[in-house]
Structure 1
């Protein structure tokens, strides 16, 4: 289960439990509010009628005054009882002569606000409220009113449904908000995961930033761990690589130097001296390239960026290698597809393109042609270098960007330092792009370097 789903499920579950408990209390309280409102109204009505009946005839004839009032049996029932609770008058004509249980109690949670009112009762789905009738301070009877609870049932039902629909709308908003919150909480983790995978694949983007303290600390911890591991591996990797690459030239120099101690013709001596010079130059190139690559890998971001014309950068790179191509009879062609600007370091981008062009020249036959195409794309610019050489063997396609991996050049069978394409990829990564190498369907290789547009 994804952490986003887990956070959302816990949030919805906890909210649902609390929301259900609150809604149960609120929906129950709707009836209490309606009944309590009706109780207060009936209480006022009963007190008014008790005051109306009190000045009546002596004995129990006072109750007859209530008969003068218009009857409304479907809405309100008026009754009068003597002090023992025997019904003397009933506007509905049903309970005359019956004795009501007295004193009337039983409001409780149903008829009032969680307390018992002694003159209120709910009997047979009817709410009754009575008021005492007194003469000269003495209790002579009771006047009461009763109203069917069914008269407020429709209002209670309507109010409850309104609450349910309102609660449903609020709940839907809370669910959407919960998903948004869960997504916000996990987005930083997803960005951190993407960052770790990019580091694993050799890309070096900056660690993601987050306003959440814990995520920011975790991001810094990953970056510190990366720096520590890369520092250790960097030393081991370059030490092993340098030792491996320098071993063969040093052996050649040592062998030539030993032979020079012997007497030999001048021509042979010049030959061995030439070998020493060439192998020394090879060691020098390896060290220079290693230092350059090490410097690029140590950088976390570009330094002196500027807005550049993609076509102009490509033209400058072609101008640099054009003499080498002319010396071998290889033509260089530039195809710039429109004016497009990019953001980056001009020196690094030009160096990357020069490396790609030199690599293409070395694998191109005499009389061939190398083409550099500037191809604008959605959100990026591609620099495509194509040659007409033998292409790259399938077994080498996945390794051509590795440090010190090199293929023999056609004709001479010599290998380069194997650091040129590694430099190209590192420069692409610094610019937020990528470098790839594939074979063309009609023969030759196709190297692509793409960077984002500015």
Structure 2
């Protein structure tokens, strides 16, 4: 499992547990109900006290006059109204009131007089109030229905210092249930939205954390595969420090390995011409005919030139291999270096009676490149094709544009590339014998082309043509104007 997946899953687990506990705790009926009951009970206390004060004004000889009180409730019941309380519309009065005498017997019930004449002296709201305490109770009208509870709050009706009776205000909890349900629904919705937002933020956070790690992983794999890419931007965090350490380690290992390979291959390649020069020099000490002496002197000159070519090409190749990025990069029309390379190689092609032809598009094929390196790479491809083309043969070059690249194709009608040599043609110092002379070159030309292509984020390929000969294809990213 990837680090990003672990971070996201861990984040989801922690957030999920936290939100489940929080929402469950907030929406728990045991938590919500007491809060609503408290918010409802407090104004009911005020209402009971206010009604008790109104009834006290209608006392006659300690007796409660309920005529006006009864008329007021009848008017309230019969008068239609509509009140929108947030999302709930209220169209009926759901508050009931009953009044008892000093003994707890109901003398008035706003609910159509149903409880009148009954003894409520043992009901907590009446009982506690008659005892001079705060009286309230909650009673279920249906024992099997938890929402059938009715809240009663009572207040004493005083006649001087004597208690003349009790007024009790009641309100069913069903009226509160809709508010509670809506509150729970809103909490769930807001909780879900918040959880989704946290998940999105957590996902973005995990991507922000793991993206530098993915870049560093891709960089390490590119180094493993021998591809030349710059160190990606990793910021200044610990990942950035780790990336810089990777880059330093790569430079150290590449430098050590390069020096070892450089010394080994240079020693191997120079060994043969040096031996030829030494042998010719030893023979020149002896008396020999002038024509034979000239022959050995010619061998010394040719082997010296070969050593010089190896050194020059190796220095150029090492300079390219040491680059991490291009220094002098600008827009370049590939048609121009192709034409210049073709002109500079014309004499070499004429020496073998090889005809050269190029097919270039009428419109520019623009790449972002180091002009010197690109021209040298194209020249190497032309030289390689001429070297393997037979005398009187032909070399064809063509330039084509694709959606995102420019492709240079160089073909010859030589013997092609043997199967065993296909994987090694771009190796440093690997060379095949020329068909006409049997001699090998320095083996650095195609290696140089590969390094230049890699520096330009392009590619090069050498393959056999369908009808014989070899085909070299150099692809470079095209600049789309």
- Distance of 1:425 and 1:259 partners within structure 2: 42
From 295, 312, 316, the counterpart of 1:292: 316
| Distance change >3 Å, CA 334–CA 58, structure 1 → 2 | same
Q: Which runs of 5+ in 1 are unaligned?
A: 106-116
- Distance of 1:35 and 1:249 partners within structure 2: 106
Which moved further from structure 2: 8-17 or 151-160? 151-160
- Distance of 2:236 and 2:158 partners within structure 1: 74
From 53, 70, 74, the counterpart of 2:73: 70
Superposed displacement of residue 271, structure 1? 1.7
Contact residue 280 and residue 299 of structure 2 kept, 8 A:
yes
| Distance change >3 Å, CA 361–CA 60, structure 1 → 2 | farther
TM-score, length of structure 2 as denominator length: 0.84
Which moved further from structure 2: 28-37 or 301-310? 28-37
Contact residue 229 and residue 324 of structure 2 kept, 8 A:
yes
The answer to whether structure 1 residue 392 and structure 2 residue 417 are counterparts is: yes
Residue pairs, 1:32-51, within 5 angstroms: 32-51=34-53
Contact residue 103 and residue 118 of structure 1 kept, 8 A:
no
Contact residue 80 and residue 89 of structure 1 kept, 8 A:
yes
TM-score, length of structure 1 as denominator length: 0.89
- Distance of 1:331 and 1:392 partners within structure 2: 21
| Matched residue, 1:200 | 224
Superposed displacement of residue 166, structure 1? 3.4
From 288, 291, 306, the counterpart of 1:264: 288
| Matched residue, 1:97 | 119
Residue pairs, 1:304-319, within 5 angstroms: 304-319=328-343
Contact residue 98 and residue 110 of structure 2 kept, 8 A:
yes
Cα deviations by residue, 1:141-196 (Å, 9 ceiling, x for unpaired): 54221111112222322332233233323333333333233223222222222222
- Distance of 1:104 and 1:440 partners within structure 2: 111
- Distance of 1:85 and 1:397 partners within structure 2: 112
The answer to whether structure 1 residue 13 and structure 2 residue 35 are counterparts is: no
From 355, 374, 380, the counterpart of 1:349: 374
Superposed displacement of residue 325, structure 1? 1.1
Q: Which runs of 5+ in 2 are unaligned?
A: 78-91, 141-148
Superposed displacement of residue 58, structure 1? 6.1
Contact residue 62 and residue 159 of structure 2 kept, 8 A:
no
Which moved further from structure 2: 80-89 or 404-413? 80-89
Residue pairs, 1:130-279, within 5 angstroms: 130-136=154-160, 141-211=165-235, 213-279=237-303
Cα deviations by residue, 1:253-306 (Å, 9 ceiling, x for unpaired): 222222222222222222222222222221221122221111111111111222
Instruction: Provide the secondary structure at the position in 2 that maps to 1:423.
Output: helix
Superposed displacement of residue 85, structure 1? 6.4
Instruction: Provide the secondary structure at the position in 2 that maps to 1:70.
Output: helix
| Distance change >3 Å, CA 45–CA 270, structure 1 → 2 | same
| Distance change >3 Å, CA 86–CA 319, structure 1 → 2 | farther
Contact residue 60 and residue 82 of structure 1 kept, 8 A:
no
Cα deviations by residue, 1:295-318 (Å, 9 ceiling, x for unpaired): 111111111222111211221221
Superposed displacement of residue 345, structure 1? 1.0
| Distance change >3 Å, CA 416–CA 120, structure 1 → 2 | farther
From 74, 98, 119, the counterpart of 1:79: 98
Instruction: Provide the secondary structure at the position in 2 that maps to 1:415.
Output: coil
| Distance change >3 Å, CA 261–CA 88, structure 1 → 2 | farther
Contact residue 12 and residue 199 of structure 2 kept, 8 A:
yes
